[in-house]
Chains A and B, each alone.
Chain A
Amino acid sequence: MDLGFIFSSAAGELFSPTTAAYALAALGLAVHFGYSGLLNFGQAGFMAVGAYGFAISTLTFGVPFFVGLLIAVICSAIFALLLGIPTLRLRADYLAIVTIAAAEIVRYIVTTNQLTSVTGSANGLAAFEGGFYAMNPFPEGSYFGMNNRDFFIRVVGWGLVIICCTLVWLLMRSPWGRVLKGIREDENAVRSLGKNVYAYKMQALVIGGVLGALAGMIFTLPRGAVQPANYGTELTFFLYTCLLLGGLGTVLGPVVGAMIFWVVLSLTQGILYGLIESGAVTWLNTVQAGQLRYILVGVALMLLMIFRPQGVFGNKKELAFA
């Protein structure tokens, strides 16, 4: 078993574009759930809307990169509005069921064979990332062992994470953010102060959703392909695991949570595969090792919620629930 390789793969996960995408999407969930108390179980849907909004506008309408980006962001904002209108007045568990249903509706629609010419159905779409890599300012060569494309997407992804974290941090310490936290603590108290709770919730839903859409784009760009199977309900649950790992009502929590999530997944995979190859573990094959990791994710989510709901960084007083 090559420990050096296992650890360097795990360290590579720290700054992989996928981790950046998870961090962004989990940050969106922090705005929804951590700061506003909105139980959004449809973040995978927002990511799908962002990824497909960008891919379809690039491939079908041939728009330049930034127009595609804008379209993706607008689509996710509209999706948030559509979701928010029927559900934001309802109790938390209704919101959860409706958002998870809406995310699945998005996935079914992009999977259907009826729209193959636009969405590519189960195959998804590919070759839409040209406009992005054409902007790559780094000349060809080796950057810390990576080629210029891999380096560029990491710089952009993590740059976006830093910008969004800063924005969320600024927003949450503004008067607007304090009202939001007030809504989380006691909706009626805020309402009695003359605040329009519904509008605040809607704004939070849109902001978190836009973060999800950006995450969806960062998720697809390095792959050069977007496939509906990636946007199932499990994705949302993994994001919740990241969020709870780091801490609900924090800005850095989701980022650190995403890093821990991917590093642990990579470490367990490396170690399990190593043990299987060296013959130390015989009761397990590599397929089962892959499943064992997701069993661990489920168990971790349960244990976190039961024993340390505030996560690594969180403050127990800042929880979205009693």
Chain B
Amino acid sequence: MGAVFAAVVAILLVVAPASQATTPSPTPSPSNQQFQNSISGFLRDDARAPIADVTITAKSGDFTGTAKSGANGSWTIGVPVQGTYEVELDESTLPEGIKLADGQENPRKVTFSQTSNLSVIFAFGKGIVVQQQDFGQNLLNRLVAGLSFGLLLALASVGLSLIFGTTGLTNFAHGEMVTFGAVLVFAFNAMSLPFWLAVVLALLGGGLFGYVQDAGLWKPLRRRGTGLVPMMIVSIGLALAVRYVIQFYFGGSTQQLPYAQSSEIQIGPVSISPNNLWSLVISAVVIALIGFILLKTRLGKATRAVADNPALAAASGIDVDNVIRIVWVAGGMLASLGGILWAYYRPGVTFDMGSQILLLIFAGVTLGGLGTVFGALIGSIIVGIFVELTTVFGLAADLKYVGALFIMIVVLLFRPQGILGRRERVG
């Protein structure tokens, strides 16, 4: 048997010369022909005018790459591998009268996280000043930032939870619905539509995406009686397809939405960026609205009835398909809004921004109890605050998501139904 197989292997291997038997390598980036990874940025002075002809160097081990900023202030250095690089801006090449801002480290060490492009921002003039804060101040600031983050997570997880409650689907494509909203705002804004119109269209687009998904995919699958696990795997396929479709059109780079840069303002004892404050207020208002609709209106009652028992809801005259359709549209719009706010929180729009927080959304939903809307809200806020607070208590910033995921696993160990879930749901 072994000998026969060895012979077969040998014959097939003849067909394949080793030089060609390597893995298809990832494709090179368009901006740089030699390397697939790059470090890049824009140089702008404090009046936001581009700074040209400044030399920047990236070093790691025996690799050194240099770039000069172009007329629009942009620079890109192709690098062979993702890793840690020392980036230095040659201050002698800066035009007269322009200086790096106080507290701007130069040279500085930068590390790739997950993308093939790493952007480095050098601030000039009177830009950002790094302040030393005391512990209590820091704690308070992180707490508010965490609340803001948690509420934007809640926008996405309430939608996910509603969909799970009414259809039983664990939707792995929800992260792409989050990305979709942010990418739409960027696209409409790039078509030079006014910002408010871009946001409105992005929300409508998100709702439409939810509607199309339900009408084109999930409803037919429910009709066929497809099981929940196959539907989950279908949603993974959809997530992969949509993620790479977005990358196909959007590219792999990080783009900024308008008004993304803002300096922190002081409100009482808390310092917060206006964007985070807006995000906090908007998501709180929207979530209060959702809560009101669910508790007080006929539609909300119908939704809760379908979530509780679809067959009984149908028997009592509720149009179950209609309710599910509305839930998908609402879920899509909420995810879009969450995505727009997430683009300001990070900040930046990338094709995989949604899948980066998908697990945090799941963590929020699971913590609160799968299928419970208010549980998803509470769970998300806990996750958001936890993520921000762990950095205050000494956990490295690149490990901050680990804390939240770990807490989710621990909670499942002791209270598998989640905080607000009912025992029977665990099965």
Contact = CB atoms under 8 A, between A and B. Distances in A.
Interface of A: 5, 8-9, 11-16, 18, 39, 85-87, 89-94, 96-98, 100-102, 104-105, 108-109, 111-114, 116, 121-123, 143-147, 150-151, 154-155, 158, 162, 227, 229, 232-234, 237, 240-241, 244, 265-266, 269, 285-292, 294-295, 297-306, 309, 320-322
A16 to B, nearest CB: 5
B398 A298 contact: no
B21 A300 contact: no
Interface in B380-420: 396, 398-399, 401-402, 405-406, 408-410, 412-413, 416
Closest 5 CB pairs of A and B: A298-B241, A146-B18, A298-B240, A301-B237, A12-B21
Contact of A122 (B5, B111, B366, B399): B111
Interface string B101-125: 0000000000111100000000000
Given A100-B362, A122-B82, 16 more contacts: A12-B15, A15-B13, A86-B412, A111-B113, A122-B83, A144-B14, A269-B24, A286-B27, A295-B248, A297-B240, A301-B240, A302-B237, A302-B238, A305-B233, A321-B227, A321-B230
A231 to B, nearest CB: 12
A124 B310 CA distance: 50
Interface of B: 2, 5, 9-10, 12-24, 26-30, 81-84, 111-114, 170, 221, 226-230, 232-234, 236-245, 247-248, 251-252, 355, 359, 362-363, 366, 370, 396, 398-399, 401-402, 405-406, 408-410, 412-413, 416, 426-427
A162 B27 CA distance: 32
Contact of A8 (B20, B114, B396, B408): B20
A232 B362 CA distance: 17
Which of B114, B238, B244, B401 is the most central at the interface, judged by chain A CB atoms within 10 Å of its CB? B244
B241 A320 contact: no
28 contacts: A8-B16, A9-B16, A9-B24, A12-B22, A15-B21, A94-B366, A94-B426, A97-B359, A97-B408, A98-B412, A101-B362, A102-B409, A105-B406, A109-B399, A113-B111, A123-B82, A144-B18, A227-B82, A229-B82, A295-B241, A295-B248, A297-B241, A298-B239, A298-B241, A299-B241, A305-B230, A306-B221, A321-B230
B233 A150 contact: no
B16 A12 contact: yes
Nearest to B23: A18
Contacts of B402: 105, 108-109
B67 to A, nearest CB: 20
A94 B416 contact: yes
A72 to B, nearest CB: 22
Contacts of B398: 108, 111-114
Which of B23, B233, B402 neighbours the largest number of chain A CB atoms within 10 Å of its CB? Answer: B233
B362 A244 contact: no
Contact of A299 (B14, B26, B29, B237): B237
Nearest to A225: B81
Contacts of B229: 39, 92-93, 320-321
Contact of A244 (B5, B233, B241): B233
B229 to A, nearest CB: 4
A81 to B, nearest CB: 13
B241 A11 contact: no
A81 B24 CA distance: 35
Contact of B84 (A121, A297, A320): A121
B81 A145 contact: no
A252 B217 CA distance: 31
A122 B112 contact: yes
Contacts of B111: 113, 121-122
Contacts of B401: 104, 108
A144 B10 contact: yes
